[in-house]
Amino acid sequence: MVNVTCCGGQDRNTTTRESRPYEPPHETRNCYLRTQPGNRSTFDYSQCNRADTACTGDNIPIGSGGCLACHSSSGGGYCDIDGDYYSSKGMGRQFHELDDDEIGEITRSSGSSDIGEMSRLFERESQRMFNRQMNYGIRNQQRRSSSTGETTGETTRETKQSNNNEEETTITDYITEILLYIGISATFILMVLSIVLILLK
């Protein structure tokens, strides 16, 4: 599996779906426009890192924008064009220059601590696990098809042993990641409680 980073620093494998090729990542959706035919967006899963897919179009100054101008945020992302901020406001048909109030709302960093961020984190993780399971299934099918041509018992035994090792590794990785997220969540809760206790004194 090839790791591709889409505009705004978004990992294609964990923030988008191949089954929805014109749906941009949640944290950069304001960097893309919705086009008229078929109500699609200018985002394209297969070419999400091209320079001309994000932050280009109506109301963006000619010769400006592009993939490097797209920045992710929990508010849907924004385009930074020479210090001026633009947004398609949820994949509208044209970009709008943002005023000071809108800038504060939309440019919150994607590390902000609200419930929506946690749900997006878990959604991203579940998508990553789904992708991993699909790749595991494809590899198993490839191994089975290559091992059916070989009739020796030793080769079949090695293939089964390899599959068991890979399955154990996948389960171990999954448990490790769950424990990691539990630890991060516990640390965050303790930090919030500490701040509340300090403020109460």
Per-residue pLDDT at 108: 57
Q: Distance (Å, rounded) from C-alpha 191 to C-alpha 201?
A: 16
Both structure tokens of 21: 């090729």
Do the beta carbons of residue 28 and residue 72 sit within 8 Å?
Answer: yes
> Which residues on adjacent β-strands are paired with residue 6?
10
Contacts 24+ apart (CB under 8 A), 43-50: 45/12, 45/16, 45/17, 45/18, 45/20, 45/21, 46/21, 48/4, 48/6, 48/7, 48/10, 48/12, 48/16, 48/24, 49/4, 49/5, 49/6, 49/7, 49/12
Q: What is the average pLDDT score of the chain?
A: 77
Q: Distance (Å, rounded) from C-alpha 154 to C-alpha 107?
A: 59
User: In angstroms, what CA-CA distances link 182 with 57, 124, 168, 170, 194?
Assistant: 42, 15, 21, 18, 18
DSSP symbol at 60 = S
Per-residue pLDDT at 112: 45
Higher pLDDT, 188 or 141: 188
What number of residues does the chain have? 201
Higher pLDDT, 32 or 153: 32
Per-residue pLDDT at 152: 47
Per-residue pLDDT at 147: 66
61-75 pLDDT, tens per residue?
Answer: 888 888 899 988 888
Does residue 151 carry a pLDDT above 50? Answer: no
**Counts for the chain of helices (H) and strands (E), in that order:** 4, 6
Report the share of the chain in percent with pLDDT over 70.
75
Where do the domains of the chain lie? Answer: 5-106, 115-200
- Name 120's Cβ contacts closer than 8 Å, sequence gap at least 6: 26, 27, 74
168-187 pLDDT, tens per residue?
Answer: 556 677 777 888 889 899 99
Question: pTM for this one?
Answer: 0.52
Q: Which segments of the chain are extended strands (E)? A: 5-6, 10-11, 70-71, 78-81, 84-87, 96-97
Mean pLDDT, range 98-119, rounded to an integer: 63
Q: Distance (Å, rounded) from C-alpha 145 to C-alpha 149?
A: 7
Do the beta carbons of residue 20 and residue 3 sit within 8 Å?
Answer: no
Per-residue pLDDT at 189: 92
